[in-house]
Chain A
Amino acid sequence: MADHATAVAHQFDDVDQQREAATLGMWVFLATEVMLFGGLLTVYTVYRYLYARGFAEGSRQLDLWLGSINTVVLITSSLTMAIGVHGAQVGRRRVLVGSLLLTIVLGAIFLSIKGIEYAHKFEEGLVPGIDFTYAGPEAPHVALFILLYFMLTGVHAIHMVIGIGAVSVVAYLGWRGRFGPSYHTPVELVGLYWHFVDIVWIFLLPLLYLLHH
């Protein structure tokens, strides 16, 4: 590894302070994320309580298969991410870059499958407000469910896109040899973020896909 020593930004006294600040910053940021998804999940919970039947019916419109495959994809990507972080910590550049690339690929697969699911919804006329042809007595509540499905998975997908961008940057820097045992905070922080986005999905899966079981 060529260049471990990184410049300390002028506002910090030393590397340790810089690392601690960055780490705390990421945790505070994740707290804001919890509140963001928390707000949406509150809306979900209220309506699920009010319209239990409609929500179960809505849940049946989702493709559990694709949802499950995506879960596996995402959990695997968390694993590769963790390996990548480890690679940075022990200074193995190939491991670092390789597993980050794998993480990116898995993230992209996740998003593609999500895209396929969304496309199905459009074909089936299950997009509230744009093309919603579902009929039946529960239709308004099914619409609400599907809408929340789009909101929740959509906001989650935006986070995935941002995550892929961040992993790419870190992978590039890693390839340039910027990380090693003495400096790898960015890799760790991106890892934290990635795991968080992963955990959100773990919440979404039962709430959206498994509701009617």
Chain B
Amino acid sequence: MTSPAVTLAPEPQEHYLNVDYGVRSWLLTTDHKRVALLYLIGITGAFFLGGFFAVLIRLELLTPQGDLVQAETYNKLFTMHGVIMVFFFLIPSIPAVLGNFLLPLMIGARDVAFPRLNLLSWYIYMAGAAFISTVVVTGGVDTGWTFYTPYSTMSSTTHVIPTALGIFIVGFSSILTGLNFIVTIHRMRAPGLTWFRLPLFVWSLYATSLIQVLGTPVLTIVIALLGVERLLHVGIFDPALGGDPVLFQHLFWFYSHPAVYIMILPGMGVISELVTCFARKNIFGYRFVAFSSLGIAVLGFLVWGHHMFVAGQSVYAAMVFSLLSYLVAIPSAIKVFNWTATLHRGSISYQTPMLYVFGFIGLFTIGGLTGLFLACIGLDIHVTDTYFVVAHFHYIMVGGMVMAYLGGIHYWWPKITGRLYPEGISKLAALVIFLGFNLTFFPQFVLGYLGMPRRYHVYPEEFQVLNVMSTAGASILGIGYLLPMIYLVWSLWYGEIAGPNPWRATGLEWQTPSPPPRDNFTATPIVTTGPYEYSRPRGAHG
């Protein structure tokens, strides 16, 4: 911002990692950077636990017979896979780790607005995780992550209540993070940092926070109603007692559709940061990218019914939700085109984070385009509740968001730890992940259109070949995910010293030493330009 040229500051004497040591200094920290690392530990655990369940799912589906695990167990596997991956990994992933770490740095603040609340949100997250862990250990839950009634309230004999409590609790951590970010973005920006000078990652966090703050309370209340119905056997959603099961679905998706945008917007923000840095170019269509985030956040609240096209809602409701789903797709299209155009006449380097950017754009596009199939009411009748849906959302959530998350982790790793990761093996890992991913989930589109229903423990024999391909892919993918785990930890000791700005990036976070000092900046920065001043102005010679 002040100047893109690197000023090689000396290794800082003191930074946020070495100001003090000891468990206490971590568990009672109010430093947003340390809270981010606490979250990093939590969600990494969640990811590998969820991934472990995914491995078991895929192993079971290797053969058409249900021969590896019992039906009850299989149902618990995909339920806990979904619950853990969604609520304990993907929703907090980018916001609570990268967002927490970077937001104050990017806006030139010393911390978030409410540091203690920030720490509290992590404790709430861990409390929720404790409930879920108890469930995992004591026998699991089998309702699917969607908890449809009356199955979840009247029929299932598994640990629905503790799971519901875990989700109920973790919701508050999501709300607190969102609240904190909104206030931080409004009130803590450095002098001169106007809204249109904000990095696009900050815009995307802002949009995400709006959804977290306005959507999550509804989840809280619907989970509470579910618990009450199950505990007291009263008819809120159970038709046998006068309730309406479709109402539950409406309330659930009123949160959970916007929640899928919680699970992609931060990733989109990361991509905007990375693509500019590694194409060394200003972003194409800054305002379009920024406003499309808000557009997605707002429209995202109006399309929940597209999960219920065959659930028994009225034909006219279905038509309205279909139309709105098409509208919410447009801002995503705008983003994809603007990122692509940013590459035009750039100076493109193929460092690891950029490989993840390429992966993200390609896979998100496929995932998003197949969302259009699902939004199409005439077509959704056939593909809903099949593997087509499973493939759609893994393309976006794993191919999109997890790629963005990994790209972001690699990109900011030097800032977070002061060390560089090894470039060669990390490129290999990115490639393995990309290939493994496609082999895992592309066959599922075909399976879905063929009619293989999701959540099936046994399946007809003719679907086996495609399932074997998918399982093979998942094994490759699993190895791909283990690699960064290993070499990133390795780099903590053996990685090259990074220096403040290894990528020659322009964001404020690169103007301060790596790792940053406790208060981020030695002096409050004063901002005079936009966030992506990579290029010289048109016509100027340099």
Contacts and interface: CB of A to CB of B under 8 A. Distances in A.
Interface of A: 9-13, 17, 20-21, 24-25, 28-29, 31-33, 35-36, 38-40, 42-43, 46-47, 50-51, 128-130, 140-141, 143-144, 147, 151
Contacts, number: 104
Contact of A50 (B214, B244, B251, B524): B244
Contacts of B287: none
B179 A28 contact: yes
A21 B236 contact: no
B251 A24 contact: no
Nearest to B110: A11
A128 B110 contact: no
Interface in B200-242: 213-218, 220-222, 224-225, 228, 231-236, 241-242
- Judged by DSSP, the binding face of B is helix
Contacts of B225: 40, 43, 151
B176 to A, nearest CB: 9
A38 B109 CA distance: 35
Nearest to A50: B244
24 contacts: A11-B104, A11-B109, A11-B110, A11-B111, A11-B112, A11-B113, A13-B524, A17-B188, A24-B182, A25-B180, A25-B183, A28-B179, A32-B175, A35-B214, A36-B218, A39-B217, A39-B220, A40-B225, A43-B225, A51-B242, A128-B234, A129-B234, A140-B235, A151-B224
Interface in B89-144: 104, 109-115
B217 A36 contact: yes
B541 to A, nearest CB: 40
A43 B183 CA distance: 31
Minimum-distance CB pairs A-B, first 7: A129-B232, A11-B111, A39-B221, A36-B217, A35-B217, A140-B242, A39-B218
Given A11-B110, A20-B187, A43 B236 contact: yes
A151 B225 CA distance: 9
A68 B216 CA distance: 33
Interface residues of B, number: 44
A51 B254 CA distance: 23
Contacts of A12: 188
Contacts of B244: 46-47, 50
Nearest to A148: B236
Given A13-B524, A46-B247, A32 B216 contact: yes
Contact of A32 (B179, B222, B241): B179
Contacts of B179: 25, 28-29, 32
Contact of B234 (A24, A28, A143): A143
Contacts of A47: 244
B385 interface: no
A141 B236 CA distance: 10
Contacts of A10: 110-111, 519
A117 B100 CA distance: 46
B106 to A, nearest CB: 15
Given A25-B113, A31-B214, A32-B217, A43 B251 contact: yes
A43 B217 contact: no
Contacts of A128: 232, 234
B188 A11 contact: yes
B186 interface: yes
B242 A39 contact: no
Contacts of B232: 128-130, 147
A32 B213 CA distance: 6
B243 A25 contact: no
Given A11-B109, A12-B188, 9 more contacts: A13-B524, A21-B187, A24-B187, A25-B179, A28-B213, A32-B217, A39-B222, A43-B225, A140-B235
A36 B183 contact: no
Contact of B218 (A35, A129, A143): A35
A10 B188 CA distance: 12
Contacts of A140: 235, 241-242
Contact of A147 (B182, B217, B228): B228
Nearest to B179: A28
A38 B187 contact: no
Contacts of A24: 182-183, 186-187
A143 B234 CA distance: 8
B339 to A, nearest CB: 30
A133 to B, nearest CB: 14
Contacts of B186: 21, 24
Nearest to B215: A35
B190 to A, nearest CB: 10
A85 B233 CA distance: 45
Nearest to B32: A11
Contacts of B188: 11-12, 17, 21
A184 to B, nearest CB: 19
B519 to A, nearest CB: 7
A139 B445 CA distance: 49
A129 B233 contact: yes
Contact of A39 (B110, B187, B251): B251
B114 A25 contact: yes
A129 B110 CA distance: 52
B251 A42 contact: yes
B367 to A, nearest CB: 28
